[in-house]
Structure 1
């Protein structure tokens, strides 16, 4: 998420897919893409087996290929590269180039470069990258930056950074309308405002400010257009922690926009918008939400962040929705995206067959996690999401809060509860194989197991932590929903 404190995020640009582009990369002869399976909330690897780093990025369709550009950071979180990858199927990504590096300009020797978005200017034949630039030590610069290239995945020439028309600029995206007009959207004025700028004819400068949301405190803008309706998807500004995504719609970028409406759950399934990609094929056009699950939310380095991709659904011509899933099947040739599973699990303790449950469906911090007869309630459904070092967080569906050991206690008998997700090791767990299809939940901070005291069969007994001992009251079945 873009940061006033430690803000940064992912954002979105969508551009017409109908133009033909020239690239130094060979585009002819690419194989017809077959349907692929894409996990939700995972890291990606490229065709060489290396972790793919395109955080906060955007995707550009050029010829037969999709090009994905994004942040590739140093261990301390500062700028290292903008890296570029290409794919025909949106799953098999080939590393192409570090298209912008610290040596691209003296300004970039020590810097933060976030949310790079590349657009193509059909009049000039140039690829233009817009990005958010800071000085590498704090977030006081709040500048937009621009780089250009004659080839989509070649070296980009860094032009400059500046404050658009004198305004602060943090989270940023770029959008090319169907008439060829370019726009840049950015969070402004300490992230309290959101600005839409019309770009110059060559897309390398700001020509005018055409729309302002004043005082809404939105960031991570992602714009796309569907059937003549503009959608602007955003997040609130809460540092690395996820929050409720909201969107507005209009039939004119400079005209009247709708009120902000929610998309996804209260934490956008633990992600923040980075991009919305139209996937156009023989059967039509689908829209793909690309979100980042930022590692800063659990205290990890940015390059440990995960990708949350979900199909965008449209209940009407002016509304959109996001539903969580375990995995997607993307057929880029057909332009179709389907999802499998809810992405949530039920955890039932072996000795009693009862489920891990947040008492009375409470959404409050400190609500006890108990055993209760399994049912269909969302307070018995958990999103198990990977974090750094092989650990997971276990997030209650109904509340968006994490399974937590009270008070970071390492003592025997410390209570298990739900609490707002953070970076504490008392919210990080190892899923340890217990044999026979069962698993143990081992707390990172204490090394102790989630345990149902005295192997009770009764309803409403709270889970505690105790030394792992092989008992069935410490063994769980994980059932996908």
Structure 2
């Protein structure tokens, strides 16, 4: 046996680590049983080898069903661990809204402490913070009640941050979302000890996420525009209680169609990366929260106090090394422009109904002309209409010439899966997986409202489409 082989056997292969995983941004996630992951508006906590993901799990009417928790070692393979807070946990949760649950660990008390935004089930008049505790990270949490900090301050979108010295802070939207208040928590983390400061009064910032990198504190927030996505902004400070900078834009004008939920440090053997966790809320297309999707993106740091975020269709995560990077190109949403006419694939009237047939129409940047292209990892994609959250497919799974392309509730059907084949000149053919046929503007019409159907693929320009950033 050679010396090199002996050393390798004794010490292991140099640099060996688990292979990175790829997460599709803008998608719904599933757990190890195949069920959808419901951790909307949530936060993460690493305990041992596992990342624990807490989040909202709502009823069809968007009222509170549970705070669900999942765990993973690689940030892709999620095991459902249970509903740790439910409607039956307390009388006031019987019909309520519980949003943005976050959990931190108190090493002095040995308790995991969860903070949430609590409302009644009918409106947003309560604006209260709520607290629950548990001796285990994924065990049942005991509800400790809800309140307005110091009895007077409204408290809506909420986050937690635990500093290196163990001091914990809570930040929440106040005064009808006009202000963002930062509180220092009590020693046991279950109450507010002091209002540290009110940030940017009158600026209407919500969805806060605080993290620390190389001694610099970052606070990432969104504007207050209901379910509609908007410009994310960030600020920095040398301490939580110090002077925060002004707000600076990050990402595109809609947060790539998402709203901040949390920023997760991914610390490994080679690096510490920072992963943006965002929600693409289904309320934007008038559907229940549990149909929302997740937007995960790596954060960049051009300087010590500057932050950047770019769109990537996939994110490569190596939890062992801490290396997180974006892969692929394109845009969060794309318009599909017919080569022969210069017109856009369009869902007429911005309808959200199943079965509405695709047409071409003069490009106008409407959401009914914008598509999220989700890579399935096998050479095919799904095309999701931005205005409706529905998938483009061939009606009834037909393989016949002239079958209509329609929007419908997303399934795993091959008739909703498409391959983008290069047609040269920056154009592609959209080929249906189930039939092998191409999206075609019927009779090469250049008129608004011309139907788009499937036909055998040829070299004609009415089957060629440009993918244009929306």
CA pair 222-469 structure 1, distance change in 2 beyond 3 A:
closer
Residue in structure 2 matched with residue 23 of structure 1 by the alignment: none
2:96 pairs, out of 102, 106, 111, with 111
Q: Matched residues in 2 for 1:336 and 1:137: separation?
A: 43
Q: Which residue of 1 aligns with 2:4?
A: none
- Corresponding residue to 2:257 among 262, 270, 275: 270
| Among 97, 108, 114, the residue aligned to 1:129 | 114
Corresponding position of 1:280: 267
Contact 2:301 2:307 in 1 (8 A): yes
Counterpart residue number, 1:199? 185
Query: Which residue does 1:18 correspond to in 2?
Result: none
Distance 1:394 1:455 in 2: 26
> Is the 8 Å Cα contact of residues 369 and 463 (structure 1) preserved in structure 2?
no
Correspondent of 2:166 among 144, 156, 180: 180
Please give the secondary structure, in 1, of the residue aligned with 2:156. Answer: coil
Structure with bigger RCO (C-alpha 8 Å, 6+ apart): 1
TM-score by length of 2: 0.75
Residue 252 of structure 1 and its aligned partner are, at CA, apart by 1.4
Say whether the 8 Å CA contact 1:452–1:463 is kept in structure 2. Answer: no
Equivalent residue, structure 2, for 1:163: 148
Take 1:149 and 1:433, find their aligned partners in 2: how far apart are those partners? Answer: 44
- Are the aligned partners of 1:453 and 1:473 in contact in 2 as well (CA < 8 Å)? no
- Whether contact under 8 Å (1:115, 1:172) holds in the other structure is yes
Give me the whole-angstrom Cα distance separating, in 1, the residues matched to 2:32 and 2:419: 34
Note the residue ranges of structure 2 that are not aligned, 5 or more in a row: 1-16, 347-360, 375-381, 388-406, 422-428, 433-437
Does structure 1 conserve the Cα–Cα contact (< 8 Å) formed by 2:343 and 2:362? Answer: no
1:450 CA drift (Å): 9.2
Please, what TM-score do these two structures have when normalized by structure 1? 0.74
Residue 455 (structure 1) shift: 2.8
Q: Aligned residues, how many?
A: 388
Question: Take 1:96 and 1:394, find their aligned partners in 2: how far apart are those partners?
Answer: 32
Alignment of structure 1 residues 19-38 onto 2, 5 Å? 33-38=18-23
**Cα distance 1:469–1:66, how it changes in 2: closer, same or farther (>3 A)?**
closer
- The structural deviation recorded for 1:346 is 7.1
- Aligned partner (choices 372, 377, 394) of residue 384 of structure 1: 372
- The verdict on how the C-alpha distance between 1:478 and 1:135 changes in structure 2, with shifts beyond 3 A counting, is same
Structure 1 runs not aligned, ≥5 long: 1-31, 359-366, 371-380, 396-424, 442-448
User: For residues 434 and 315 of structure 1, what CA distance do their matches in structure 2 show?
Assistant: 37
RMSD: 3.3
Larger Rg: 2
Aligned CA distance change for structure 1 residues 392 and 322 (closer, same or farther; 3 Å)? same
Deviations 1:310-362 (A, max 9, x none): 00000100010110001011000000011111243574536x4968599xxxx
Sort the Cα spacing of 1:145 and 1:432 in 2 relative to 1 into closer, same or farther, 3 A.
closer
What's the CA shift string for 1:6-25, capped at 9, x where partnerless?
Answer: xxxxxxxxxxxxxxxxxxxx
Q: 1:217 to 1:434 in 2, by over 3 A?
A: closer
* Cα deviation, residue 255, structure 1: 1.3
